Structure 1
Amino acid sequence: EQAIDEVVEATGTGYEAGFAFIGEMHVTMAQGMVPFLEKLRERLGVRTLIGCACGGGIGQAAGPRAVESAGGGSGGDWPPVEVEQVSVLSVGLLRSAGATPFFLGQGAEGDVELLNKKAGEGSVRSILMVADPFAPTEDILRTLDESFPSAVKAGGIAAALQVGAEERGAFMPSIAIAAEGCQVRLHNQGVVGLLLEEVDVHTIVCQGCCGVGPAVRVSSVAGPVCNGIGGRPAQEALRLIFSAVDPPMRAKMQQFLTIGLGNVGDGEGSIGDGDWLIRGISGVTPDGGFVIGDGIAEGQPLRFHVRDRDSAERDVELMLKRYRLERNFKGGGEEPIGCFLFTCNGRGEALFGRRHADARAVATVLPDASSTRVAGFFCNGEVGAPGITVAASPEESAQPLRGTAIHGFTAVYALLVPAPASKS
């Protein structure tokens, strides 16, 4: 109750739609997501509120605990904070967004008829979402990309809510939709979110990596295994790159090596830093192949990467600078009025050695950081298309975008920009 009071005092009331990122402790104390989310929705006076459980939240500080984390500052005149605690509550609210809530599960489960109707109308500009940690999220993202190919998508995967201190394998649903005049819809094994018709979302996906060696092509695959790179056996190709770099980079490769993948048909030299889809190497076969996962294909561009604190800091700086440049050249409409930030629970202080790094970096691309709200949470996986996505014009926004993906150790910035002829 105290957390709800503090949030309502800070935000005011009277909104169309929004998200609530609810610390696991609040869900447990309220005996489930439903009573807490409905009470929060009523107090905020918001027509639709999407809720998800989290282990840490992001936003402007309100209340004594968040103020302490912020170093003594609170409210919109202070920069956003990252609170890595299960007692957190963060909300991101939109006064006008043309928002439609939805749930989509596996196969034909969920609001399929509604989604088909909206897809046929062609008016959805962007989609924000949160996923259950046990959902077939990759399949659901493919469905959304097929139905809404030009809509920018962003989101995160919620925390798993274990039932009971001693039980194993029993979990409560961790995502829900609360809407005016309806019972709260509690969901698992799927994705809930908002279809937005009056708000553009620009995404910046920071994967915390830097490239090592040249970009080449996958030359041999067997299912999820990459056996050949650049016409050589995979391990031989890696050894050549390893021998060519300096000792500090070799040390990083031994600890933090990852692989970046491009799209089949892309030229190796046309993929910029930050635009690769980063995937881990989950194993090595007896023949020396790298186990990467589904979606790898012969002819696909590939580049080795490393991920560590220095790489993550450089990557955030690079991608935010690139976003400013792309907005200038492409004409990204009005200035952003807010940001949802979906960042990995492996980032934060554990990665950067200091608090609030991802949350406060966004100030470099917002017109007035002191008056622009940031809300988000620490995720079990982050959702967005690799690189930077800016819908610049009706002509460009009609073109299909790069496929939406699930990431790890990533920060996804979803900047909110009023769509033409709308104010949010």
Structure 2
Amino acid sequence: MKWASAVSTHPSLELALREVIERVLTQLETAPNLAIIFISSAFASEYSRVLPLLKGPLGGAHIIGCSGSGVIGRTKVNQLAEVEDAAGISLTAAYLPNVDIQGFHLSIEELPDLDSPPSEWTEIIGVAPVDQPHFLLMADPFASGMNDLLQGLDFAYPDSVKVGGLAGIESISRSCGLFCGQQLYRQGVVGVALSGNIMIDAIVAQGCRPIGPTFRVVEGDRNVVTKVAAQGNTDDDLEQTPLEALQELFQDLDETDRQLAQESLFIGLAQSGFKQSLGQGDFLIRNLVGVDPKVGAIAIADRIRPGQRIQFHLRDADTARDDLATLLAAYRLESKKRSDVAPSGALLFACNGRGTNLFDMPDCDTEQFSRELGPIPLGGFFCSGEIGPVGNTTFLHGFTSVFGICRALNDAETA
């Protein structure tokens, strides 16, 4: 297995594509069977020309990709770069021996309903669950059924990793580009299922840190929480409204965090009902979308259920930087412990709210990736929403960086 990545900022589509093609083919020294193209929305009027220009030089490689507000890849001097809000093309190519590649395009309106058996989902993908495929997914940002799609794929392929992102749109036409095989699509979802001697390890950096205690939801309906109790409290007298809990918590914060809580307060939803000690990676971060001061209720941008554990979180640049560094370091150590095969390549699906919109310097996520994991070929794009797992469930995220790290299987995984 071998991967290569290149990015070009040439304003000419032909010259930019020629540059990235030549560089990835030189790095690979063999014909790729998978090519992943990300193109900035500055080229929106030329999306229809991309696939014909790729087809000849890349031979029989399966092509997948989409448009983005920015692109990510390796420069001519072999440094990772995040190209934001400018013309840019990223090409990641891979030679994947003993890997089956199945591309697909799905229309959200034609998906099976959630009561359908797994067989209806596997039929539209074209890969059996026994093959244990892993998925790269790119979607139209206006596709309203993405949560149903992810839930259906988790149902049909519970042991598969799914990573990806929502395509970027051009500001005037509001259109995106989705590439699969030799077809350009404007709507739906394109994807590729990879099965055989390949593993995708997902890192989902949500960029938040917890504050205060963990609470148990005592009363709530749909996305509204009306009563909570601090974790470990069984006395009904200690139940309170979430607004009361937040006001008490606010008093214990320092001035910096108080100010941050006014602007960047989020809710973490615990994904395990059984794990006693919750830590980084155990919470799905969701927006706090409303407060009712009359009854002390809060509204969350997701469904909530009584008994579920929640915790308030804050997000800022330093927290996001520390969060990613911790996750990458933990991945490196855990991979060494498992005797994993070294990663051959990776993809980064980064929220367009990160990059220089969040950090005080460019290339922050990619520099941390290189610092922790070394010179692994990395391509990617800035998304309108990111797809990645928390626990054993795949979610659509915001303000997140999702890494899909690709490697061959280790001995235990092939046994």
TM-score (norm 2): 0.84
Q: Report if aligned partners of 2:209, 2:315 keep a CA contact under 8 Å in 1.
A: yes
Aligned to 2:394: 404
Matches within 5 A, 1:56-135: 56-62=70-76, 74=77, 78-96=78-96, 97-106=99-108, 108-109=110-111, 114-115=123-124, 117-120=126-129, 122-135=130-143
- Residues 1:227 and 2:226 aligned together: yes
Q: Deviations over 1:210-238 (max 9, x none)?
A: 11011121121122111122131010011
Q: CA 1:191–1:81 in 2, change beyond 3 Å: closer, same or farther?
A: same
Aligned to 2:53: 39
Q: CA 1:5–1:305 in 2, change beyond 3 Å: closer, same or farther?
A: same
Q: Report if aligned partners of 1:38, 1:184 keep a CA contact under 8 Å in 2.
A: no
Q: Report if aligned partners of 1:26, 1:36 keep a CA contact under 8 Å in 2.
A: no
Residue ranges of structure 2 left out of the alignment (5+ in a row) = 1-13, 113-119, 230-238
Aligned to 2:66: 52
What is the Cα deviation at residue 173 of structure 1?
4.6
> Runs of at least 4 residues of structure 1 off by over 3 A?
107-117, 170-173
- Work out the percentage of aligned pairs sharing the same amino acid: 33
Q: Report if aligned partners of 1:21, 1:91 keep a CA contact under 8 Å in 2.
A: yes
Give the secondary-structure state (helix, strand or coil) at the position aligned to 1:87.
coil
Aligned to 2:194: 196
Aligned to 1:382: 386
Q: Report if aligned partners of 2:21, 2:91 keep a CA contact under 8 Å in 1.
A: no
Matches within 5 A, 1:12-411: 12=25, 14-28=31-45, 30=46, 33-62=47-76, 74=77, 78-96=78-96, 97-106=99-108, 108-109=110-111, 114-115=123-124, 117-120=126-129, 122-135=130-143, 136-161=145-170, 165=172, 171-178=174-181, 183-188=182-187, 190-197=188-195, 198-230=197-229, 231-263=239-271, 265-267=273-275, 269-285=276-292, 286-329=294-337, 331=338, 333-366=340-373, 368-369=374-375, 372-386=376-390, 402-411=392-401
What is the Cα deviation at residue 85 of structure 1?
2.9
Question: Whole-Å Cα distance in 2 between the matches of residues 363 and 229 of structure 1?
Answer: 42
CA RMSD of aligned residues (A): 2.3
Question: Whole-Å Cα distance in 1 between the matches of residues 156 and 220 of structure 2?
Answer: 30
- Residues 1:11 and 2:15 aligned together: no
Give the secondary-structure state (helix, strand or coil) at the position aligned to 1:284.
strand
Question: Whole-Å Cα distance in 1 between the matches of residues 303 and 60 of structure 2?
Answer: 40
What is the Cα deviation at residue 108 of structure 1?
3.5
Query: In structure 2, what residue type is equivalent to 1:378?
Result: F
Question: Whole-Å Cα distance in 1 between the matches of residues 126 and 41 of structure 2?
Answer: 35
Give the secondary-structure state (helix, strand or coil) at the position aligned to 1:172.
coil
What is the Cα deviation at residue 58 of structure 1?
0.5
Query: In structure 2, what residue type is equivalent to 1:192?
Result: V
Range 109-118 or range 337-346, more displaced: 109-118
Question: Whole-Å Cα distance in 2 between the matches of residues 107 and 185 of structure 1?
Answer: 18
Give the secondary-structure state (helix, strand or coil) at the position aligned to 2:393.
coil
Aligned to 1:389: none
Question: Whole-Å Cα distance in 1 between the matches of residues 327 and 297 of structure 2?
Answer: 32
Q: Deviations over 1:312-339 (max 9, x none)?
A: 111111111221232234x162011111
What is the Cα deviation at residue 202 of structure 1?
0.5
TM-score (norm 1): 0.83
Range 81-90 or range 106-115, more displaced: 106-115
Give the secondary-structure state (helix, strand or coil) at the position aligned to 2:128.
helix
Question: Whole-Å Cα distance in 2 between the matches of residues 415 and 377 of structure 1?
Answer: 15
How many equivalent residue pairs?
375
What is the Cα deviation at residue 42 of structure 1?
2.7
Aligned to 1:70: none
